[in-house]
Amino acid sequence: MSSPAEINATAASLLGFLSNGPMTGWELDAAVEESIANFWNVTRSQVYRELRTLAERGYVQAGDAGPRDRRPYSITPAGREAFANWIVRDPGSPIVRMPLLLTVFFGRHLPPERLAEILEQELQGGAQALHQFEVMQQSFGDDPFVRQVLQFGIDYQKTLLAWLQSLAADPSIKPQSAGDRRD
């Protein structure tokens, strides 16, 4: 059996969900989408891959297949220990992977109309994300830890929207014409 310290954050998040009771891979995917997907990217294929790995390590146990061949998974005592060891560790430095920042960083290589389209799309998406966080805050508001994470999401989206609006209004942000690009 592997050391509990070796689990990754995605696997640990699944153990965290399973600590509340058995769930199928489909239910775990839905729980991720309804909660942490706004700040932790987990694909459906990752859910199933991590479940297989967690089962191999003895951290979860698969139950009997139910309707649509959905199999519930339960956390084992070893899985609870692995999660407990993971949750108390130093989370480490944040890593920002934001494609928009790359696009803006290299924005001088974009036609001005494309940059304007991208910023408008991002403004619309940010407004939708802000609304989603506000709705989620009403749904998940009983847990003070979840409430604080959702408040971070609300504050983050408000800050992002303000930055996007200032970027769109900044006259010095003008992409170079095709002839001026240094490709």
Lowest mean pLDDT among 146-150, 156-160, 178-182: 178-182
Identify the H or E element spanning 74.
Answer: strand 72-75
Which tens digit of pLDDT belongs to each residue from 102-126?
899 988 888 988 988 999 999 999 9
- In this structure, what token pair is assigned to residue 80? 């609870």
The domain 4-87: what is its CATH number? 1.10.10.10
Which tens digit of pLDDT belongs to each residue from 151-179?
999 999 999 999 999 998 888 886 544 44
Residue 174: what pLDDT?
64
Identify the H or E element spanning 10.
Answer: helix 9-18
Return all residues near 21 (Cβ < 8 A) that are at least 6 apart: 74
Which tens digit of pLDDT belongs to each residue from 11-69?
999 999 999 999 999 999 999 998 888 788 899 999 999 999 999 999 999 988 877 77
Question: What radius of gyration do the chain's Cα atoms show?
Answer: 21
% of the chain residues with pLDDT over 90: 58
Tell me which of 97 and 145 has the higher pLDDT.
145
Banded model confidence at residue 141, pLDDT cuts 50, 70, 90: low
Measured CA to CA, the distance from residue 51 to residue 54 in angstroms comes to 5
Residue 147 has pLDDT above 80, yes or no: yes
**Domain spans in the chain, listed from the N-terminal domain onward:** 4-87, 99-171
